Structure 1
């Protein structure tokens, strides 16, 4: 059995259980979720109420975050958890049931945050900003706790019950079909943004490959970073 070396954790990552499956894609997506949650929380606090352009940019960027998170959770609910549920013991099934319950707790927070960003993109509403700050804090707490739980316990089940062929099939059938070619410039840039240098080679080998990296370096990176500076200009 090949044991994947995952001892070097990404910032904020709770665990990397050892085993035969290369789940780099899962961990880098989690890293991007954590990075965005911190940035959005700071932006909600720091962006002036009257700056409509920045609030509109934040609302659009929030829409991208929510879309990726929704597709990620849908892939888990439709593909990953059922496959593991069919193979796990009773303790493992309890963990998987908790994963689904945590997704259900997160969804209403995402909806309420979306309403807040949309309101602030249209009006300088101090009450709406205060409410959005409370909701962002709650979302950050819930989603961070869920990601930690998933990395510690659900990924241990992946390493115990799956092999790389299973993981590859899940990605092809349940995670990648949600994205069209037109989504790749944003998605690749979003994954790579502020990724620690020591992890870059592993991510390139496991996920992107050399052609995708060249497209990102030459065409996609700078426009993405320019839009990030506009949306998060007060962070």
Structure 2
């Protein structure tokens, strides 16, 4: 397996953590909407491309099933928080956001430690393509705005270095 640049994957994971920390203390509908949209894109791409590919390749079946099951446990909390935001307001969502934060943190850590090292170059390429397809051209600016929120210095430079030059002018 060749060395690959996982800057964008870790940047997305860090952004999910950042948003849930903020949402758990100060629930905000706009931030929630951005978070939910980006997590949906991220997890759906993994569900559609990554887990099936790892299964076909015969990668540790228990691990792949555990990853998929973690997504399945996250989804109801997303729906519950969304209902709370839409019907009772941000403060009503706080308990669900705290539970979601813990569950998602554990999932991201599990994925980073055990799954990311197993993904081959072809799977990275397919996952990247699926995420870009789901984000779409119109979603690029909101995606990078979300991803780079509060990110400065070297980390910001590293993320932007993965983006083609013309696109970098539009999003930075």
Alignment of 1:1-235 (within 5 A): 2=2, 20-44=3-27, 58-89=28-59, 92-121=60-89, 129=91, 131-158=92-119, 162-163=120-121, 165-172=122-129, 174-206=130-162, 208-217=163-172
User: How far is the alpha carbon of 1:21 from its aligned partner?
Assistant: 2.4
Q: TM-score, normalised by structure 2?
A: 0.90
Tell me the secondary structure at the aligned position of residue 26 of structure 2. Answer: helix
Query: 5+ residue gaps in structure 2?
Result: none
Distance 2:58 2:116 in 1: 12
Aligned length: 172
Distance 1:209 1:195 in 2: 19
1:68-107: per-residue Cα shift (whole Å, max 9, x none)?
1111111001101111222244xx2211110000000001
Higher share in helix: 2
Distance 1:118 1:205 in 2: 38
RMSD: 1.9
1:130-157: per-residue Cα shift (whole Å, max 9, x none)?
x422111100000000000000001121
TM superposition outliers: structure 1 runs of 4+ over 3 Å: none
1:12-61: per-residue Cα shift (whole Å, max 9, x none)?
xxxxxxxx2222221111111011101111213xxxxxxxxxxxxx3243
Name which one, 1 or 2, has greater alpha-carbon Rg: 1
Q: TM-score, normalised by structure 1?
A: 0.67
Distance 2:126 2:97 in 1: 34
